[in-house]
Structure 1
Amino acid sequence: MESIKIFGVRVDNVSLDEATNKIEAFLKDEGLKTIYTPNTEIVMACKENKKLRNIVNSGDLIVPDGIGLIYASNIKKKPLKERVTGFDLSMKILEIANRGGYSLYLLGGKEGVAKKASEKIKEKYPNIKVVGYHNGYFKGSHLGEKDHPEEIAIIDEICGKKPDIIFVGLGFPKQEIWIYENKGRLPSKIIIGNGGTMDVLSGNTKRAPEIFQKLGLEWFYRLIKEPSRIKRQLVLPKFMIHVLFSKDVIE
């Protein structure tokens, strides 16, 4: 699989269809495959933090969930095929699971979000077996408390129910850390860190209108809705400045 590195972060050069095909292959393969969905904010954090960078780079599939990554790859003449968002890929995973009758576990979100998301999934995808869910408020590896009793209880539950697929929505970098620290003891086929996907699935959060999605301006839509995100969103222009004026941006 062809890939590039942006500030040392591996990004696989795949289209949504190609990523979907990889997921189908993963589900038929042995062992657990990890999926990460870096955007510009994540890449900038990984640029400054080697441990996070190594965690993301360890993924079996790493898709470009950020329009800034597409711009950077074009500017530096190593173009990525297209933006592949974690949400869109998660929807493809649900379609595959529905066709194949695969099982799913949801981990993350505020109290009640994963439960509500599971109900919505069952309505739309009746062939998916949602075998369990848990909110994201527990002590564990993502908080520097590996093997805390609360984490062990969740892992025991997952091991008992043996879901084919696990959605982890703890937000970056917690979800990536949790996946990395625990992937060796989970009996599933694929695990994806997909941020706020469960919030959208549950109906608690609305995704940006399609025109914003097509233009790669979902970040701007969220900023309009949540002005408090301004500090986080400033990372995009900072990223582009680094792209324009730094050497060895892309390998």
Structure 2
Amino acid sequence: MNNIIKILGVDVNKITLDEATNKIKEFLNEDETKVVYTPNTEIIMETRKDQELKSILNEGNLVVPDGIGLVYASRIKKKPLPERVTGFDLSVKILEVANELGYSLYLLGGKEGVSEEAALKIKEKYPNIKIAGCHNGYFKGTHTGHIKHEEENKIINEINASGADILFVGFGAPKQEKWIKENKDSLNCKVIIGNGGTIDVLAGKVKRAPEIYQKLGLEWLYRLIKEPKRIKRQIVLPLFILIVLFSRDNVVE
């Protein structure tokens, strides 16, 4: 059975959270750098006008369905994804694996001091993880339109010198995906994951939706209630479902 479903031209793994976690363990046992992307419905919709982003996602070694809309779309077209696998949940599983097996982690992203706060909280909960280093996302680099800038090169050298096995990149999409694409071949990490606001959540700066919202796939609604200005972004969700309903080839195996 094919373990890939193509949604609006983007390859997404048909995988559970536990299966994705096992895949991470496999990656950590290999020598070459593996990249994990975590697109939600909004990001998949963005690829309709950003072909570079689509190409980047399709080059990922593991692409998990972060958005509940992606799961609904797959079921509408009778090519079901087994479950939603959020970037945050997978990142927590990665922390558990790193704690169990003693891997090292570098945190890249967030405002000044946030990655350091996240690192402290991670170390409290997962004492066997080696924190290789931290850096905020406010530097001149690919994600800010400064490809191969000296600030970016310095950070890449720092990450490599730290010996980090795992790299969390939290710039938000599509900045983090484009940064990873540009720099992955220069990095020695075994696993790089673009995981959006995960560092902010781990630092305690942002709260996840209550569990009931998560279980019902309504985190988008919780965020909309908390931030009504997100309505312009969230309008892509019903549009996405309409596109799926009325087009034959937008969800294929």
Q: What TM-score results when the alignment is normalised by the length of structure 2?
A: 0.98
Matches for 1:97-136 after TM superposition, within 5 Å: 97-136=98-137
Q: In 1, Cα distance between the equivalents of 2:220 and 2:163?
A: 35
Runs of 4+ in 1 over 2 A off after TM superposition: none
Report what 1:154 is aligned to.
155
Matches for 1:165-180 after TM superposition, within 5 Å: 165-180=166-181
Q: In 1, Cα distance between the equivalents of 2:120 and 2:234?
A: 32
Q: In 1, Cα distance between the equivalents of 2:133 and 2:237?
A: 36
- How far did 1:142 drift? 1.6
Give yes or no for the alignment of 1:226 onto 2:227: yes
- How far did 1:124 drift? 0.3
Q: In 2, Cα distance between the equivalents of 1:49 and 1:198?
A: 26
- For residues 25-50 of structure 1, what are the alpha-carbon distances to aligned partners after superposition, in whole Å with 9 as ceiling and x for unaligned? 00001110000001100100112221
Q: In 2, Cα distance between the equivalents of 1:183 and 1:136?
A: 16
- For residues 62-93 of structure 1, what are the alpha-carbon distances to aligned partners after superposition, in whole Å with 9 as ceiling and x for unaligned? 00000000000000110011000000000000
Give unpaired runs (5+ residues) of structure 2.
Answer: none
Q: Is the 8 A contact 1:9 1:47 kept in 2?
A: no
Report what 2:202 is aligned to.
201
Q: Which amino acid aligns with 1:244?
A: L
- How far did 1:194 drift? 0.3
Give unpaired runs (5+ residues) of structure 1.
Answer: none
- How far did 1:143 drift? 2.2
Q: In 2, Cα distance between the equivalents of 1:30 and 1:115?
A: 28
Q: Which amino acid aligns with 2:199?
A: M
User: What percentage of aligned pairs have identical amino acids?
Assistant: 65
Report what 1:2 is aligned to.
3
- For residues 203-235 of structure 1, what are the alpha-carbon distances to aligned partners after superposition, in whole Å with 9 as ceiling and x for unaligned? 011110000000000011011111111111111
Report what 1:53 is aligned to.
54
Q: How many residues matched?
A: 251
Report what 1:64 is aligned to.
65
DSSP 3-state at the match of 1:77: coil
Q: Is the 8 A contact 1:36 1:62 kept in 2?
A: yes
Q: Which amino acid aligns with 2:43?
A: I
